[in-house]
Structure 1
Amino acid sequence: MARVQFAHRFAALGCALLIGVAAALRFAEHPGYTRLVFDVPGASGAVGQSTAQGLRIVVSGAAPPAEHRQLQTSTGPLTVDTAGQTIQVQAPGHPLKLLTLPAGDGQPFRVVVDVQSSAPAALTPQPLAQACPGVPDTSALPSVPVKLPAGVSGNISFMAAVIDPVTLRPLRVATLHPDALHPMASTFKQLVLWSVLLDVDAGRLKPDQVFEVTPQNRSLESYVPGKRTLLELAKASIQRSENTAADILMRATTPDRVQDLIDQVGTCNTSVLMPTKAYWSVQAGLLKDFNPADLLGVTAPLLTADEPTRRALARKAVAGSLKVDVAKLGPALDRFYKGSYDPRIDWQVENRTTPRELVDLIAHAYLHNGLSAAQNQRYWDLMGLGCCQPDSKAKYPYWGAKSGVDWGLLNLTGLVRTQDGQYVAYAYMNHQSSAHDVLALQAQKPLVTNWIATVVDQLTKAP
């Protein structure tokens, strides 16, 4: 689960205290933009149209309460008028973005408008990974063009490939900047699961082995306290993307064994050396070995140093994070994002890969994983519970997936088996999105997953 949920909850709470929980309109300040949220119970949709002064939105199926509001925000003065099924937002000179969120989980239909303080800041280029002889070259393969879905932004890299299940070599591909380096967010958890199941086969770990969740080993976001078996943790780490479960499993198999497994596949640029609590503790400035006054500088060796040095630094972060009070971690991380945030710190500190290398790792994890028949079936079953599958999932015999959401970041990865027995591995990696928080990024998951399904269909079409 994404750390940005923590920040969003605090923003929403502050908003409710400021303007009253009964108001149809709520607003919250974020770095670079102001978010307006309209709860419209019973509504089924909304369509926006730009005007000279801002945005006109027509809601279908219901109407918000009529009101006229003049708001003084850090973005500037805003005017909001609702009458009947029409919402007018006036913010002259400011870019506006409209997002609609369907009702669900006890929440009503929502209309969300982001009013940006100015033109979006220039993106920091993602670093290009060095050529890796252990990862298949696809430059001469048949390919299909990539046209991204409307509504996504930031630095986006993508690769999908039809995989030969015997040689694991790609046969046909769709690529967009596949060698750009990206932070992995929760997509690293599928590699942790692979390592854990190898340890089960080797007798180092047992499926019914019990682990206790403690204040020291828990991470941010929701978790189940108390004693839990390895299989319970494995399921939670994939199905719910529980950070605490994944962290406990990663420490059980050890980050070194996870990285050894990755290196054995032949990748050169993929690094998975830290549980979530470790890299968030670094970013939050709570570890003495990583001076927060020069976080960009002191974390650079995690990217640029030789592997023994990077592993040693990661071990320090993992050990130090177990002493961090999680109650202090969330607020400290919020301050980092709203203050000294630099996207370069993401790919220096967090687990990282490229779409090309992740597609190769996914192909190995599913199709040539070295697991016993029982643990291989367990891997496929658990990954089949992951997010996200498309609306057309029923037409595919199998769709395994793992997503990751973080500050300005959305990753979607997986492996698909088609009716005619073809296998497609894919990795969509979006960093520095103009949609920063979990509310906006989670809403993009169905859009992008359905788009990925169209790419899968194009790749697997009979020539």
Structure 2
Amino acid sequence: MGSPPPALRNKGRYFLAALALAGGLWACRRPETVPATAAAPVPPTPTTPAPATASPPASRAAAQPLPSGCLAQAPAAQPAPPPPQPLSGRLGLWVAEVDPATLRPLRAVATHPDEVFPLASTYKQAVLWAVLRQFDAGALLPTERFDVTRENQSLGDYPYDDTNVKDLTIRMIQHSDNTATDILHRRVGLKAVQALADDLGLCHTRLILPTKAWWVAEAGLSDTFNGTHLWETATGEDRERLAAAIDADAQKYRFDYLQRRLDAYFEGDADPANDLRVHNLSTPYEFATLLAHEYLRPGLSPRALKWQHEVAALGFGRSALRAEAAHNVAAFYGKGGNGWRILTYTGYFQTKDGRHVVYAFMQHGSDQTYTMPNTRRAFAWINAGVDALLGEQKPAPTEGKAPAVRPAVP
């Protein structure tokens, strides 16, 4: 499919359907009880894998041996079924049933689980986890309020002034609001979100930049980013310092000026390799590992767990699962993201017979510039992976005509 209509283009290519992710092509709004606990996270086993075979270093995490302390490459898994419907570009998929005690995969299907992809808005799940941890630490209150300013306004829709933290988390997950995300990300600290990955040894996962910061970098507006070759490989304090400087650059620009510069970039010679330089990143396996910890062993208090359940259940994906049509989903948390030739869908669900499934679908360099129409194709593949693990999820019989689908977000 070609470019979206001008009315959509004017909203910005990296967020132009972010609001629709909560409603998308289906509506999913039926949160149910999940047996969450406040136990401490179970760290993955850090190992140093054997050197990988040569492959393009820009797209494959396994191109270099991992340092000690990093999570190993994805464990052995069955090849994922081929996508039931055509999908272009680089593709990655990890669908796994995980042990709720160890959080390690019991069985999995995969395609390129160790390749690195841009996360787009699916990274916002990590921001939610960081907020909840700081709530438990007494570092912020759900009633703390924020205004939208020239500095913090990002692309797309944005919250009203005086919106509190709790409502910002809802807007971030349900409506994929970028300004709400950036306010929260900066409030907890850039380092705090990145630490969620670092503490788990997810050495190919970058979560440190707010949305406006990566767009300013990709638009060529960050003097810090333009002036260094260290950003892509920076870790620890070096990455924190550079991220803070790139984010400071981002806050100098009005959102509408940034939008015009992004439009010019994407209408020109946009290079998909730049996405990997500026976006928050992960691999299908690493990000699914993070989600298993976030939703099964987040180390949160009962109050924070209640908040997590209320908000994370609003993310897109539940009604796109065939397991939901089969009345086999007891709880669901998820999120999607899209951008210029980018599409991601990641999440967790528990079946009614007590099995725990995480999934991560990632697409980069799609033939379609506007990727939201690929949503059905993406979930056809995710569902094929779920069927391979759990058995075919057959839709339950319905009586009469099915009700019309009404997206939750226009």
Output the TM-score relative to the length of structure 2. 0.78
1:97-133 Cα deviation digits (max 9, x unpaired) = xxxx9999xxxxxxxxxxxxxxxxxx99623344556
Task: Return the alpha-carbon distance in structure 1 between the equivalents of residues 105 and 321 of structure 2.
Answer: 26
What SS is found at the alignment partner of 1:241? coil
Aligned to 1:419: 352
Q: 1:215 to 1:164 in 2, by over 3 A?
A: same
In structure 2, relative to structure 1, the CA distance for the partners of 1:319 and 1:137 (3 Å cut) is: closer
Aligned to 1:325: 254
Within 1, Cα distance between the matches of 2:321 and 2:298?
A: 29
Query: Does the 8 Å CA contact 2:81/2:384 hold for their aligned counterparts?
Result: no
Q: Is the 8 A contact 2:74 2:285 kept in 1?
A: no
Task: State the match for 1:277 in structure 2.
Answer: 212
- Show structure 1 runs of 5+ residues with no match: 14-29, 31-100, 105-122, 292-297
The residue that corresponds to 1:177 in the other structure is 112
- Equivalent pairs counted in the alignment come to 344
Superimposed CA distance per residue, residues 351-382 of structure 1 (whole angstroms, 9 cap, x where no aligned partner): 11111110110100011111112212321331
Q: Is the 2:153–2:179 contact (alpha carbons within 8 Å) kept by the matching residues of 1?
A: yes
- SS in structure 2 opposite 1:428? strand
**Where does residue 71 of structure 2 map in the other structure?**
135
Kept after mapping to 1: 8 A contact 2:341/2:365: yes
1:313 and 1:405 map into 2 onto residues whose CA distance is 25
Letter in 2 for 1:190: Q
Contact 1:126 1:182 (C-alpha < 8 Å) held by counterparts: yes
Match of 1:453, as an amino acid? N
* Structure 1 residue 316 corresponds to structure 2 residue 245: yes
Residues 181-220 of structure 1 mapped to structure 2, 5 A cutoff: 181-220=116-155
Among 7, 10, 28, the residue aligned to 1:9: 7
What secondary structure is seen at the aligned counterpart in 2 of 1:433? coil
| Structure of greater relative contact order (alpha carbons < 8 Å, 6+ residues apart) | 2
Distance in 2 (CA, whole Å) between partners of 1:454 and 1:267 is: 27
For residues 191 and 459 of structure 1, the distance between their equivalents in structure 2, rounded to whole angstroms, comes to 26
1:410 aligned onto 2:408: no
DSSP-derived class of the 1:397 partner: strand
**Aligned mate of 1:162, from 88, 97, 120:** 97
Match of 2:390 in 1: 460
- Per the alignment, in what secondary structure is the counterpart of residue 156 of structure 1? strand
CA spacing shift, 1:427–1:149, aligned 2, 3 Å: same
Q: Distance in 1 between matches of 2:76 and 2:231?
A: 34
What displacement does 1:453 show? 2.5
Task: Check 1:414–1:209 CA distance in 2 against 1; reply closer, same or farther (3 A cut).
Answer: same
Offset, 1:290: 3.3
Identical-residue share of aligned pairs (%): 35
Change beyond 3 A, Cα 1:405–1:140: closer
- Write out per-residue CA displacement over residues 317-358 of structure 1, whole angstroms, 9 at most, x where no aligned residue: 111211111110001011111224211111111111111110
Aligned to 2:231: 302
Q: How does 1:431-446 map to 2 (within 5 A)?
A: 431-437=364-370, 441-446=371-376
CA RMSD after TM alignment: 2.7
Equivalent residues of 2:61, 2:204 under 8 A apart? no
For the Cα contact (< 8 Å) 1:124–1:343, is it kept in 2?
A: no
Corresponding residue SS for 2:59: coil
Counterpart in the other structure of 1:41: none
Q: Deviations over 1:217-244 (max 9, x none)?
A: 1100111231100000000000010101
Does the CA-based 8 Å contact 2:88-2:367 persist in structure 1?
yes
Distance in 1 (CA, whole Å) between partners of 2:228 and 2:387 is: 41
Q: What's the secondary structure of 1:213's corresponding residue?
A: coil
Taking the aligned partners of 2:366 and 2:258, their CA distance within structure 1 comes to 24
Bigger drift between 403-412 and 151-160 goes to 151-160
Flag the 1:395–1:182 CA change in 2: closer, same or farther, 3 A: same
SS for the counterpart of 2:159 is coil
Change (3 A) 1:302 1:102: closer
Q: Distance in 2 between matches of 1:237 and 1:428?
A: 20
Provide the C-alpha distance between the structure 2 equivalents of 1:196 and 1:290, rounded to a whole number of angstroms.
Answer: 27
CA distance in 1, matches of 2:177, 2:356: 28
* 8 A contact 1:138–1:170 mirrored in 2: no
SS of residue matched to 2:162 = strand
- Check the 8 A contact 1:299/1:348 in 2, yes or no: no
- Code of the aligned partner of 2:71: V
Q: Does 1:349 align with 2:272?
A: no
- Name the SS for the 1:401 alignment partner: strand
The yes-or-no answer on 1:250 pairing with 2:185 is: yes
CA deviation vs aligned residue, 1:122-160 (integer Å, no higher than 9, x gap): x9962334455643655445x353211323100001111
Indicate conservation of the 8 Å contact 1:136/1:169, yes or no: no
> For residue 82 of structure 1, what is the aligned residue in structure 2?
none
- Quick check: which has more Rg, 1 or 2? 1
- AA aligned to 2:96 is A
Match of residue 447 from structure 1: 377
C-alpha contact 1:135 1:360 (8 A) present in aligned 2: no
